[in-house]
Amino acid sequence: MYDRRSFLINSAGAAALALAPRMAFARAETDRRFVFIIQRGAADGLGMVGAVGDPAFAGARGQLAEDFSTAKKLDTTFALHPAMTSLAGLYDAKEALFAHAVASPYRDRSHFDGQNVLESGGLGAYQVKDGWMNRMLGVIPSGEAKAIAISATIPLALRGAHEVTSYAPSALPQASDDLMTRVAALYQGDSQLHGLWNEAMDTRQLTGDLTDVSVKNAAATGQLAARLLAPANGARIAMIETGGWDTHVGQRGRSAAQLKGLDAMLASLKTGLGPAWNDTMILVATEFGRTVAVNGTGGTDHGTGSAAMLVGGAVAGGRVMADWPGLGQSALFDGRDLKPTLGLDQFVAGAVASHYHAEPGKVMATLFPDTKGAKPVAGLARA
């Protein structure tokens, strides 16, 4: 029966959703923050971190190599795309590191399947039903702090046994303070509705004047996430979805715009987090990479190996990690792609284990249960 109480409960939930951008909440008790920024669409790792020291780089990449003529050198082999000026500063401050020639176990180049493997932590698509970030909540300190996801729906990476709720933006106009007061008075005598309403109001206060900012604005998204992560009673675990990385056509200009957005998001996170930045680790990763060679329309097609990064005050940065396979034709995977030499599973498990001082084997077995015999990468967080 759909009675008045059911209507009010559902209305309270709808009101909460109308107040702020899309989020999801779960449980974790720790001062250390962990953020996963997913690059949906298969980001070109060679377009982010170019292997300028590889003798085959310029010839293999064609016009895509031109931007790296003025790029910041990270070491003798790699350079950072010039669009990422803030990230360059973080690298110099040893608050960013890159892992190159990395990939998940997936090899068939389908976005949907590749993202499923990336988020579930399985060996193949649709083999694991929950997400590695949700399982991660079982191996780090648990309690009453929140985890958030900035996304249209709860991403697979956060789905699972640990409780998660969605939090979505609305295009509706802001409700007046008078209406807020009246609804609060209406719910005052109901213990269940009163608690729901107070939680919605607490979140509204945290987001403040950012509640009407589109999540498509990368800097605003980073600022919003920081506002929810920074407070002592705020979130600790976060996931941010970014799209537009599928660059089959006109990649050079499109990638520069994408990378500027990502750079602005990372800069906003650092600024907004303030002192909490020192306890923060941000993982940036994609489902797979792109072809080494440029196609006939100035873009690249679905590939295999890519690059991932860790950013934050808690990161032992200032380096590029790569068992570099080379870009000569004979070194390419399937004769077309950057060959992966490091499992993304190992990189992610190592990041989580070192950040939370958790037992690496347990983290690997929990986050990536079907990956056998692979050891997490050590030493990714500051001691």
Banded model confidence at residue 165, pLDDT cuts 50, 70, 90: low
Instruction: Give per-residue pLDDT as tens, 44-89.
Output: 999 999 999 999 999 999 999 999 999 999 999 999 999 999 999 9
Evaluate if residue 109 carries a pLDDT over 70: yes
User: HEC profile for the chain?
Assistant: CCCHHHHHHHHHHHHHHCCCCCEEECECCCCCEEEEEEECCCCCHHHHEECCCCCCHHHHHHHHHHHHHHCEECCCCCEECCCCHHHHHHHHCCCEEEEEEEECCCCCCCHHHHHHHHHHCCCCCCCCCCCHHHHHCCCCCCCCCEEEEECCCCCHHHCCCCCCEEECCCCCCCCCHHHHHHHHHHHCCCHHHHHHHHHHHHHHHHHHHHCCCCCCCHHHHHHHHHHHHCCCCCEEEEEEEECCCCCCECHHHHHHHHHHHHHHHHHHHHHHHHHHHHHEEEEEEECCCEECCCCCCECCCECCCEEEEEECCCECCCEEECCCCCCCHHHCECCCECCCCEEHHHHHHHHHHHHHCCCHHHHHHHHCCCCCCCCCCCCCECC
pTM of the complete model: 0.84
Ranking 58-72, 187-201, 319-333, 357-371 by mean pLDDT, the lowest is 187-201
Average pLDDT over residues 328-339: 98
Question: What does the domain layout of the chain look like in residue ranges?
Answer: 8-367
Find the range with the poorest average confidence among 4-8, 51-55, 87-91, 228-232. 4-8
